[in-house]
Chain A
Amino acid sequence: MRVLIPGASGAIARKLVVRLKNEGHEVVGIDRRPWHDAPVEFHTVDVRKRAAEDVFRKFRPHAVVHMATVTSLVVFGEERYQINLGGTRAVFDHSRAYGVEHCIFVGRHTYYGAGPDSPLFHKEDEPPLALNVFPELADLVAADLYAATALWRFPELTTTVLRICYTLGPSGHGTLATFIRGKRVPMVLGFDPLFQFMHEDDVIESLVLTLAKRPRGVFNVAGPQPLPLSRVSAEADRTPIPIPRWVLENMIGRFGFPKLPKGALTHIEYPVVVDAAAFREATGFDHRYDELSAIAAFRTAFPRPRSD
């Protein structure tokens, strides 16, 4: 199968590229971030540019795995909207124009939002919540919903929208891994939300299965049970440091704390946990790594730093 991967330079995407290549698929990657010794044909180009469309035209992929979206922790402001919405639009338009059979939008479980009134184990039919307190999530939510419009706009294109929980593993990439990278993990005093994550190899496996089974629709993807953030930190040999919310709000972007939108703090107060039963049913996916071995894999690759 010919598979095109926009966003192929990301840590998880690179692993997917290697896995698909090893399985005998013909893979081409696109990313505006370079990938120097890429093991497959790779184009350093923005998916929204003309040159990216040329790749679709020449390569004529059977399947596209769209991994070129970014979070508010990585890219700020207007540019993020352009990447997430403009990029998603380009991927689906080109997929339709050049006869792609299956397009996978790799989205995030944070789509559902975090808040005191939001239930545990969201199902796919639930609307996003709490965008008012975390408006920086709106572009990703919109990209997710926009991708799903392909289900009715382009019925000839099999579309799968995945809402994948956090990843954790030896690459140390992803929102959760970045958050617990340091020696100490800041927490909001009095809150200890459940965090749902899966080993990055299980994420790869879920994507490979999606390519093989081609389920149509929107699916939550998750593996083992969630754990409270304090336990994730402790098992990763980190020290959770509870800080009153108003102090934490003022520490963001200072004293070595990462720069976060204020709304992101709701994601360390309240849980975002999804029900992935429909995905398991549709693809036969089952996780290989439980919650503790996923943390152990991260801890082995990123032991507790000696000093911050």
Chain B
Amino acid sequence: MRLDREVAQRVDRLELPFNALGIDPYGVSKWHLRVSLTSLSALYKWYFTVETTGIEHVPARGRAMLIGNHSGGIAIDGAMVIASCFLEMDPPRLAQGMVEKFLGRLPFMNTWTSRTGQFPGLPEHAERLLEEDRLLMVFPEGARGTAKLYRERNSLVEFGTGFMRLALKTKTPIVPLAVLGGGEAFPTIANAYKLGRLLGVPYVPLVAYGLPVPLPAKVQIQYAPPMVFSGSGNEDDAIVFGYVDQVKEVIAKMLAAGAKRRRGDVPQLER
């Protein structure tokens, strides 16, 4: 089947409350989803040749939080996680990310992110989406995570705790996931923070080959079984940090194992 037709059929099978115009109460639009998911799916299948394992751990319905590592200087990881839930699940699900707030200020970007269900990372948005039993995607490393350099690609920086408090408050299962290969696809050698400030973004990632275009490196996504924590979300930091560390550890293990597996078949840019 042609990709655009397959995507259109899958968009029709998304279990979201679209109105007669194909727009849901948050403004997520079938038309925008078709356009963006067609290109994401093409990248997923043929450019990054993504290999997804453990998709069965993502609940078919009901609230859930996908918690992953950032991999690569631009949001290849988030895009490919969205594509994997859309293409590998049956019925497909729309993973809704919490995007960096600066994107909300950028013309066009603002419209495309919100029409495809990727809203500014505000606690109000996250909580409401979960209350409505949607699939939330969070990268707790934040912009610090996308700023990782090539040599740091399979490491994790500090995790925020907001996601855990929210999971506790809304009784949401957490599905940890590891993305590998984003660092090879977009091997950042340095980040230009001053240039970023001029452009109104946190930083501009620089790559050795000049053009800020990702390379066709193989991306792997691995989902782990859901983790459920019980509490109210008002616990002491020490307790919440403990829970966060458990999630982080699961992701770190998947990253380490994945990196070992990859070592043979990925050209090493490092010396």
B128 at the A interface (CB under 8 A): yes
Task: List A183-230 residues whose CB lies under 8 Å from chain B.
Answer: 188-192, 194, 225-228
- Nearest to A290 among chain B residues (CB) is B19
* Total number of A residues with any Cβ neighbor in B under 8 Å: 23
Against B, the Cβ 8 Å flags (1 = close, 0 = not) of A143-175 are: 000000000000000000000000000000000
Task: List A67-123 residues whose CB lies under 8 Å from chain B.
Answer: 116-117, 119-121
Cα(A191)–Cα(B108), bound, Å: 6
Q: Which applies to chain A's interface (DSSP): helix, strand, loop or mixed?
A: loop
Total A-B residue pairs with C-beta atoms closer than 8 Å? 61
B13 at the A interface (CB under 8 A): no
Which chain B residues border A231 with CB–CB below 8 Å?
21, 23
Which chain B residues border A136 with CB–CB below 8 Å?
none
Cα(A98)–Cα(B29), bound, Å: 52
- A117 and B101 in contact (CB under 8 A), knowing A189-B107, A292-B20? yes
A53 at the B interface (CB under 8 A): no
- Least distance between B123 CB and chain A CB atoms (Å): 8
- A116 and B29 in contact (CB under 8 A), knowing A121-B128, A190-B110? no
Q: Is B111 a contact partner of A117 (Cβ separation < 8 A)?
A: no
* Total number of B residues with any Cβ neighbor in A under 8 Å: 25
Q: Is B27 a contact partner of A226 (Cβ separation < 8 A)?
A: yes
Q: Is B104 a contact partner of A116 (Cβ separation < 8 A)?
A: yes
Cα(A117)–Cα(B104), bound, Å: 8
Which chain B residues border A117 with CB–CB below 8 Å?
101, 104, 120, 122
- Nearest to B124 among chain A residues (CB) is A119
Cα(A301)–Cα(B233), bound, Å: 52
Q: Is A116 a contact partner of B24 (Cβ separation < 8 A)?
A: no
Pick from A121, A228, A291: contact of B29, CB under 8 Å: A228
B26 at the A interface (CB under 8 A): yes
Q: Is A225 a contact partner of B111 (Cβ separation < 8 A)?
A: no
- A120 and B119 in contact (CB under 8 A), knowing A194-B27, A225-B24? yes
Task: List A228-286 residues whose CB lies under 8 Å from chain B.
Answer: 228, 231, 235, 245, 270-271
Q: Is A191 a contact partner of B111 (Cβ separation < 8 A)?
A: yes
Cα(A271)–Cα(B114), bound, Å: 11
- Least distance between B213 CB and chain A CB atoms (Å): 23
Q: Is A120 a contact partner of B26 (Cβ separation < 8 A)?
A: yes
B105 at the A interface (CB under 8 A): yes
Q: Is B21 a contact partner of A227 (Cβ separation < 8 A)?
A: yes
Against A, the Cβ 8 Å flags (1 = close, 0 = not) of B52-76 are: 0000000000000000000000000
B125 at the A interface (CB under 8 A): yes
- Nearest to A271 among chain B residues (CB) is B27
Pick from B20, B26, B111, B120: contact of A116, CB under 8 Å: B120
B25 at the A interface (CB under 8 A): yes
- A116 and B101 in contact (CB under 8 A), knowing A190-B110, A191-B111, A192-B111? yes
- Least distance between B117 CB and chain A CB atoms (Å): 11
Which chain A residues border B101 with CB–CB below 8 Å?
116-117
Against A, the Cβ 8 Å flags (1 = close, 0 = not) of B87-118 are: 00000000000000100111111110001000
Against A, the Cβ 8 Å flags (1 = close, 0 = not) of B227-239 are: 0000000000000
Q: Is A190 a contact partner of B107 (Cβ separation < 8 A)?
A: yes
- Least distance between A281 CB and chain B CB atoms (Å): 15
Which chain B residues border A226 with CB–CB below 8 Å?
25, 27
Cα(A235)–Cα(B128), bound, Å: 28
Closest 10 CB pairs of A and B: A190-B107, A119-B124, A116-B104, A225-B25, A190-B108, A194-B27, A116-B105, A119-B122, A192-B111, A119-B125
30 chain-A/chain-B pairs, Cβ below 8 angstroms: A116-B104, A116-B105, A117-B101, A117-B122, A119-B120, A119-B124, A119-B125, A119-B128, A120-B26, A120-B119, A120-B124, A120-B128, A121-B124, A121-B128, A189-B107, A190-B106, A190-B110, A191-B107, A191-B110, A191-B111, A192-B115, A194-B27, A226-B27, A227-B21, A227-B23, A228-B23, A270-B104, A271-B27, A290-B19, A291-B19
- A residues contacting B by CB (< 8 A) are 116-117, 119-121, 188-192, 194, 225-228, 231, 235, 245, 270-271, 290-292
- Apart from A119-B124, A225-B24, 20 more pairs, CB < 8 Å: A117-B122, A119-B120, A119-B125, A119-B128, A120-B27, A120-B119, A120-B128, A121-B124, A188-B107, A190-B108, A190-B109, A190-B111, A192-B115, A194-B27, A225-B23, A225-B25, A227-B23, A227-B27, A270-B104, A271-B27
